[in-house]
Amino acid sequence: MIIDFSHPNNLDDILAYAKKNKTKVVFATTGFSKEQLDKIEEASKEIAIFQSYNTSFGIQMVTKILRQVAKEFYDNGYDISDYYAINPMFGTMEDLDELIKKGKARGIKIIMDLVVNHTSDEHPWFKAAIADPTSKYRSYYIFKHGKDGRAPTNWRSIFGGSVWQKVTEDEYAFSKKQPCLNWENPVLRQEIYQMINWWLDKGIAGFRVDAINFIKKDQRYQDGEPDGEDGLVSCIPFARNQPGIEVFFKELKENTFAKHDCMTISEAYGVSYDKLGIYIGENGCFDSMFDFNYSNFDIGDNEEWFIRKDWTAKQFRDLLFTSQVEVNKVGWVGTFLENHDQPRSLDKLIVNKADHGYYSATMIASMYFFLRGVPYIYQGEELGMANCVRRSIDDFDDISSHGQYQRMLEEGFSESEALALVNKRSRDNSRTPMPFDDSQYAGFSDVEPWLALNESYPVINVKAQFNDPDSVYSFYKKMIYLRQQSVYSNTLTFGSFIPDECENDNLIVYQRSYQGQLIVNVCNFSNQEQPFICAKELILNNYKEYDGKVLKPYQTIMYLEENK
């Protein structure tokens, strides 16, 4: 399991929080000094501390995640300016060497975020490419001439505006400050492999691989049919999951991962299920992946936030079940509802804010936590955090929020309409500082953080829930215990997933089966009572009672159906 904390300073609270779980849960956090890290390592061999500002990759051992240098932090560190250095906010290379040495003695694994689709425009390669068009580094990036005074293509960047930035010629960029690497260049690829092997040889245990399905572009570089008032078309059909990417994956694995005892998990949006085999499984490049096909169900295919989709509980259930069935045919998956790119799941799944609270938060938690795969808990999810509300676009730090806001204005939305839609979907919703208590800066720091706190922090915080047996936090502890230490652990971990296509569209019901043990998980995905008959003894219940006939609003129960 994973819990991802961003930038906390209150070490004592974190250690107390971690010790109380003692369930091999991975906590993700950043900004610790070497002395603090020593204190953490001594605190518990079962607690995993990740050093990452937004996302993490977890295994059932003590783990930590590090970030390479990003000078400007334009996109929260995904703009790499030096592949062979540690960002100073995470310490020095000497600190890392010492941590690897100590970790080896304790069985501690160290994981890194790997960003190889693009670099920062501050990277020496890119600076050399700009300074000298004849430099070998010119072909490390994608430069194309414009056409009749226009950009080479009419592709729109993921973050809004044209993908092309004018320099001596035109430059293809993942975003304005993040030029894409040219994976068609074999010399560049070897540089990437050399860097990956350097970190693995150093003792890094593996990678969470960022935006890896963007490394192959449509080499025809043709215009697309405009899909907006700006005359541009989303770059996604031309730059993501392109045919031939499997060739790059095969070479990447052979030259790096296959040579090491390492672990990898890929971030790959929009992968169709018939293509899973190039990502995971026996012939896949990575050990596991995140499946986003059930994640962006509420917006358009090109991930534009203003294209909203109506949906029902049944439709979401179908997407979730399809993901489980298809992915588990091939390999292993990380199951999740939240991450650093998603809004809070309470707001996405429980649309009526009046229904937000303990019961709805614990119901959706139970729904995903017992699926087959490795469950990831994102920071604050275990507290039942919801979205925050920003009253001006200037209050957002997320570059995607600014790009989407501008795009909405171009499409004719008013400023207030655009702001409301950005509030629904902004990545800043999940990136707010972790609320540890109700003090001025929520126990997160002694000074004003880089991003405003969620306005709910005086009520929804660790201190308020820590010793409350009826809190969302305590419910997560129960789920972790069931999955990790109970007589049901093997079934909930290794058991097959069996969907239950029940006639009641307001219920999400599935089974986990392993060696004669059959467990049923039931979730009432509505704010109304729903009939469900069960005479079995319950393993888990987010209410204090259940009459065996009717589920209360947002009630979830789990029971043992068979135990042969």
Instruction: Please list the active-site residues.
Output: 210, 267
Inter-residue contact 177 to 72 (CB < 8 Å): yes
- Residue 114 bridge partners (DSSP): 209
Instruction: Reduce the DSSP state of residue 436 to 3 states and report it.
Output: coil
b/e map 282-318, b = 16+ CB within 10 Å = eebbbbbbbbbbbbbbbbeebbbbbeeeeeebbebbe
Helices (H), 91-154: 93-106, 124-131
CA-to-CA distance for 75 and 89, rounded, in angstroms? 15
* Helix axes 415-425 and 399-410, enclosed angle (nearest 10): 140
Six-digit token pair at 183? 């994976």
Inter-residue contact 173 to 126 (CB < 8 Å): no
CA-to-CA distance for 73 and 76, rounded, in angstroms? 5
Six-digit token pair at 501? 């296509």
For the chain, the residue count is: 564
Return all residues near 158 (Cβ < 8 A) that are at least 6 apart. Answer: 174, 175, 235, 236, 303, 400, 403
Inter-residue contact 343 to 298 (CB < 8 Å): no
Residue 185's CB: how many other CB atoms inside 10 A? 17
Dihedral angle sign, alpha carbons of residues 535, 540, 545, 551: negative
Q: What angle do CA 474, 478, 480 make, to 5 degrees?
A: 110
CA-to-CA distance for 332 and 323, rounded, in angstroms? 11
Specify the pairing of strand 263-268 against strand 206-210. parallel
Residue type, 323: S
Six-digit token pair at 511? 């089974």
CA-to-CA distance for 554 and 364, rounded, in angstroms? 8
Give, in order, the Cα–Cα distances in Å from 166 to each of 172, 233, 461, 521: 9, 18, 46, 55
Dihedral angle sign, alpha carbons of residues 54, 26, 346, 313: positive
Q: What angle do CA 322, 325, 329 make, to 5 degrees?
A: 135
Return all residues near 263 (Cβ < 8 A) that are at least 6 apart. Answer: 57, 59, 109, 111, 205, 206, 287
Specify the pairing of strand 155-156 against strand 233-234. parallel
- Residue 265 bridge partners (DSSP): 208, 288
How is residue 181 annotated by DSSP?
Answer: B
- Which residue in 193, 192, 81, 185 sits closest to 140, CA to CA? 185
